[in-house]
Structure 1
Amino acid sequence: MLSVRGVHRSFGAGPSAVHALRDVSFDLAPGTMAALIGRSGSGKTTLLNVIGGLDRPDSGTVLVDGTDVTALDEDGLSRLRRDRVAYVFQTFGLIPVLSAAENVGAPLRLARVPAAERERRVELLLELVGLADHARQRPGELSGGQQQRVAIARALAASPRLLIADEPTGQLDAETGLSVMALLRGVVESEGVTALVSTHDPTMVALADRVIRIADGRLEGQLGEQAGGQDVT
C-alpha cells in the first residue's frame, strides 16, 4: 500500500540547512495501522506531508497504492488527496458554520456524489464514530473529542486507501485521546484502510500494528509487529 524509498528533504541551503528527512525508507502493507514516533522536530510532520503530497522531497520516491506521488503534477496530487489519501489533523479543521453531517459530507459534495448515496454514507460514518445523535450539531457545540471523531468520519467519506493522522490526539485529554486512537484502530479493521499515525503518547502506540521511530530525520528502527510494551520515549 505504501512504499517510501530513499526520501530526503532539506530546508534552506549551505551550513544552515535543516535536514528534515535523511534517506527514509519503509513499507506498509494494506490494512496496517502504524505509529510514527519521535520527539518534536524529528521529521514526523515533514514525512507525513511528503507521503500525502503536501510537500515534495528533494530526492527519493513515495508510492501510494502503486502511484508514484513524487511524479504527480498538482492536478494529480489533488486527485490523489481527493480519492486515495485522507488527512486527520490535531486541529480538527472542521467548517464552523456546517453541522457534523454537513462537514462529513463535504468531500462527497465536491466529488458530486448523488444526494441519496451521500446521505447514506454520512449516516454510516457518523454511526461508525459514535455520533449518529449529533449529526445536526455544529463544531462549536461539540467537545474536542467529538470534533475529532467528526474529522475522522470526514476523512473516511471518500473511502480512502491511506489515512494519515498527524498528532490526532494532541489537543485531547488522555482518556479522550485513547478513545480516539481506539476508534482509529477500529476504522482500520472495519474500513480496510492503511493508517499512518504520528503520536507522542506511549499508551496510544500500544494499539498500533507497527511502530516506526524517527530521530533527526532518520529512521532509528521499526520495533516489530506488536507495539505493546515497547519503550517509545
Structure 2
Amino acid sequence: MLSVRSVHRSFGEGPSAVHALRDVSFDVEAGTMVALVGRSGSGKTTLLNVVGGLDRPDSGTVVADGIEVTALDDDGLSRLRRDTASYVFQTFGLIPVLSAAENVGVPLRLARVPAEERERRTGMLLDLVGLAGHAEHRPDEMSGGQQQRVAIARALAASPKLLIADEPTGQLDAETGLAVMALLRGVVESEGVTVLLSTHDPVMMALADRVLRMHDGRVDA
C-alpha cells in the first residue's frame, strides 16, 4: 500500500540546517495500522506530511497505492488527497460554522457526490463514530473527543485507502483518547483502511499492527 524509499528532508542551509528526515525507507501493508513513535523533533510530523503530499522531500520517493506521491504536481496532489489519502490533524481542523454532518460531507461535496448519496454516507459515518445523535451540532457544541470523531468521519467520507493521523489523541484526556484509539482500530478492520499515525501513547502502540521508531530523522523499520 505504501512504499517510502531513501527520503531526505532538510530545513535551512549550511551548518544551521535541520535534517528532519535522513534516508527514511519502509513499507506498509494494506489494511494495517502502523504507529510512528519517537521523541518530539524526531521527524514524525515531517514524515507524515511528506507521505500525505503536504510537503515535498529533498530527495527520495513515496508511492501510495501505486501512485508516486513525490512526482505529483499540485493538481495531482489535490486528487491524491481527494481520492486516496486523508489526513486527521491533532487540532481537529473542523469548519466552525458547519454542523457535524456538514463537516463530514465537505469531501463528498468536493467530489460532487449526489445529495442523496452524500446524506446516506454522512449518516453512516456519524453512526460509525458514535455520533448519530450529534449531526446538527457545531464544533463549539461538542467535546474535544466528539470533534476528533467528526474529524475521523470526515477523513473517511471519500473512502480513502490511506488514513494519516498526526497525534490523533494528543489533545484528549486518557479515557476519550482510548475511545478514539479503539475507533481507529475498528476503522482498519471494518473499512479496510490503511492507517499511518504518530503517537506517544503506549496503548495506541499496543493497538497497532506494527511500530516504527524514529530518532534523529531516521526510522528503525
**Same-fold call, TM cutoff 0.5:** yes
Question: Number of aligned pairs?
Answer: 221
The match for 2:187 is: 187
Structure 1 position 204, deviation (Å):
1.7
Distance 2:71 2:5 in 1: 14
Could you tell me the TM-score, scaled by structure 2's length? 0.99
Structure 1 position 180, deviation (Å):
0.2
- CA offsets 1:66-99 (integer angstroms, 9 cap, x no match): 1100100000001000110000011001011111
- CA offsets 1:38-82 (integer angstroms, 9 cap, x no match): 100000000000000000001100000011001000000010001
Q: Letter of the aligned partner of 1:89 in structure 2?
A: F
Distance 2:118 2:203 in 1: 36
Say whether residues 1:23 and 2:23 are aligned partners.
yes
Say whether residues 1:60 and 2:64 are aligned partners.
no
Does the residue aligned with 2:120 lie in a helix, a strand or coil?
helix
Say whether residues 1:160 and 2:165 are aligned partners.
no
The match for 1:102 is: 102
Structure 1 position 188, deviation (Å):
0.8
Moved over 3 A (4+): none
Which residues of 2 match residues 66-85 of structure 1 at below 5 A? 66-85=66-85
Structure 1 position 202, deviation (Å):
1.1
Structure 1 position 201, deviation (Å):
1.1
Which residues of 2 match residues 78-93 of structure 1 at below 5 A? 78-93=78-93
Could you tell me the TM-score, scaled by structure 1's length? 0.94
Distance 1:206 1:178 in 2: 11
The match for 1:45 is: 45
Q: Letter of the aligned partner of 1:84 in structure 2?
A: T
- CA offsets 1:132-166 (integer angstroms, 9 cap, x no match): 01111111110100000000000000000100000
Distance 1:184 1:63 in 2: 23
The match for 1:231 is: none
Distance 2:188 2:203 in 1: 18
Distance 1:204 1:157 in 2: 23
Distance 1:63 1:78 in 2: 15
Q: What's the RMSD between the two structures over aligned residues?
A: 0.6
Distance 2:70 2:155 in 1: 22
Distance 1:87 1:36 in 2: 15
Say whether residues 1:112 and 2:96 are aligned partners.
no
Distance 1:188 1:30 in 2: 10
Say whether residues 1:207 and 2:207 are aligned partners.
yes
Distance 1:90 1:7 in 2: 24
Does the residue aligned with 1:160 lie in a helix, a strand or coil?
coil
Distance 1:207 1:160 in 2: 21
Identity, in percent, stands at 82
Distance 2:203 2:184 in 1: 14
Structure 1 position 203, deviation (Å):
1.9
Q: Which has the higher contact order (CA 8 A, sep 6+)?
A: 2
